[in-house]
Chain A
Amino acid sequence: EAGVAQSPRYKIIEKRQSVAFWCNPISGHATLYWYQQILGQGPKLLIQFQNNGVVDDSQLPKDRFSAERLKGVDSTLKIQPAKLEDSAVYLCASSLRDEQYFGPGTRLTVT
């Protein structure tokens, strides 16, 4: 079974620029998550989708971050404009029941 795919794997941008990340979950997994992992901290949930509906986006900084999951499959996470403190690894995960399966993440560096 193919795992969770993410792209790009690495991205370097300047502050105030925009960036987008893509996630393709495991086929058949209804729930999709985006996490932000800042160096030295644990992953923090940004947004959770159930099919194409948002279940929880309470920790998503909505003034600059947006996410969508069209057709309940792939998802994109966008940051516009980026700040220095957005430098982190962005992890996507999907689940069918209790266990979450993670992608390899996108490492974002904002200079």
Chain B
Amino acid sequence: ILNVEQSPQSLHVQEGDSTNFTCSFPSSNFYALHWYRWETAKSPEALFVMTLNGDEKKKGRISATLNTKEGYSYLYIKGSQPEDSATYLCAFRENNNDMRFGAGTRLTVKP
């Protein structure tokens, strides 16, 4: 993988469902992996910065895991709420260089 890829592109779930999405990135020269939440008409908000293989981070109902050897990170949302509706972006940093963003996963949570 040369670029940062996120899947799925979009996701529609019902309130209360749990969901997860994937960020794939180059597995060489890893420095850090960032997750952001971007609500419409607002600023992208930092969720996690992950730096070590095997890292697991948690913030309320949202958690993330990191596998740097195979080049992927998962973001999980437990018990989705309408306010979780947003685009979730991941960004890969190689050797402390610029962040390379994926195209994002657009999540819609229906009440």
Residues of A within 8 A of B (CB): 3-4, 9, 40-45, 48, 56, 91, 98-105
Contacts and interface: CB of A to CB of B under 8 A. Distances in A.
29 contacts: A3-B43, A4-B43, A9-B41, A41-B103, A42-B4, A42-B89, A42-B100, A42-B101, A42-B102, A42-B104, A43-B101, A44-B101, A45-B98, A45-B99, A56-B98, A91-B44, A98-B32, A99-B46, A100-B34, A100-B46, A100-B99, A101-B46, A102-B43, A102-B44, A102-B45, A103-B43, A104-B41, A104-B43, A105-B43
Interface of B: 4, 32, 34, 36, 41-46, 49, 89, 91, 98-104
Contacts of A48: 98
Given A91-B44, A105-B43, A99 B49 contact: yes
Contacts, number: 40
Query: Looking at chain B's contact residues, is the secondary structure mostly helix, strand, loop, or mixed?
Result: strand
A97 B11 CA distance: 33
Nearest to A37: B101
B24 to A, nearest CB: 13
A35 B78 CA distance: 31
A105 B49 CA distance: 22
Contacts of B100: 42
Given A4-B43, A99-B49, A104-B43, 12 more contacts: A41-B103, A42-B4, A42-B100, A42-B103, A43-B89, A48-B98, A56-B98, A98-B49, A100-B99, A101-B46, A102-B43, A105-B43
Contacts of B45: 102
A77 B43 CA distance: 18
B100 to A, nearest CB: 8
> Chain B CB within 10 Å — which of A45, A48, A56, A98 has the most?
A98
> Chain B CB within 10 Å — which of A43, A56, A101, A104 has the most?
A43
